[in-house]
Amino acid sequence: MGELRYEQKYFLSQAGYLLLRSRLELAAAKDRHVQTGGAYAIRSLYFDDYCQSALLDKIEGVERREKFRVRYYNHDPLALRLESKQKLGAMTRKLTAPLSYEQGWFLARGQIDCLRDAEHPLLRRFYAQARLRLLRPAVVVDYERVPFVFEDVRITFDRYLRSGRYGTGFLDLDLPTVPVLPPDRDILEVKFDRALPDTFRRILRSAPAQACAISKYQLCRAVQ
């Protein structure tokens, strides 16, 4: 990935989720990474500096901002990646680079020298930013994602959002986490390259949803 895409986010009730999911199952395909139940698990470790710039930039609505995170899917810490999530107004871009388990182990402890000789440009960029800004682990973000895709459109439901303490437990599947949202509230995300097709506009309008500048990072930081 790496192209700029439009991104819209909404809070959604449990009833709204069930309604939209049933309609999307008729109009879009499920993501190829889903497991049983049509979902997959995501765990991320976010980084911030001592001034909490990533958090404050989000709160203040800074138009151009960037967050770094280490992420793995479906409870598999052997398949780690570093990601840069960049926000430019109404559009976002995600850059990724693979990490070894050893690199993830060190990064979860705030030890960035493991990337000093990295060849991937994103790893080099993160290393430079971490040295310059003293980036350190900030919070663990856990959730379940139910994704649908159609051409350039990607619609996802992020459910059971939970927050965990950063540090050595990031790679531990038994890391204690706490719920962040009420059990009847989910997050709906819509991403597309140019314009959202009318079919999906009608589907999304069929259930009440609250448009909001949602940041799972910010929500998880608030409960720690």
pLDDT 10s digits, 73-106: 999 999 999 999 999 988 999 999 999 999 999 9
**Is the Cβ–Cβ distance between 79 and 137 less than 8 Å?**
no
Name residues whose C-beta falls within 8 Å of residue 47's C-beta, 6 or more positions apart in sequence: 54, 67, 68, 69, 130, 135, 136, 137, 138
CATH, residue 183: 3.20.100.30
Residue 167 pLDDT exceeds 80: no
Its pTM stands at 0.94
Q: Which two tokens stand for residue 32?
A: 């190829």
Q: Show the domain range for 191.
A: 5-222
Number of domains in the chain: 1
What is d(CA 144, CA 176) in angstroms, rounded to the nearest whole number?
Answer: 16
Kindly compute the dihedral angle of the four CA atoms of residues 180, 76, 156, 160, in this order, to the nearest 10 degrees: -20
Q: What is the mean pLDDT of residues 180-201?
A: 93
**Is the Cβ–Cβ distance between 22 and 47 less than 8 Å?**
no
What is d(CA 93, CA 84) in angstroms, rounded to the nearest whole number?
Answer: 8
**Is the Cβ–Cβ distance between 84 and 67 less than 8 Å?**
yes
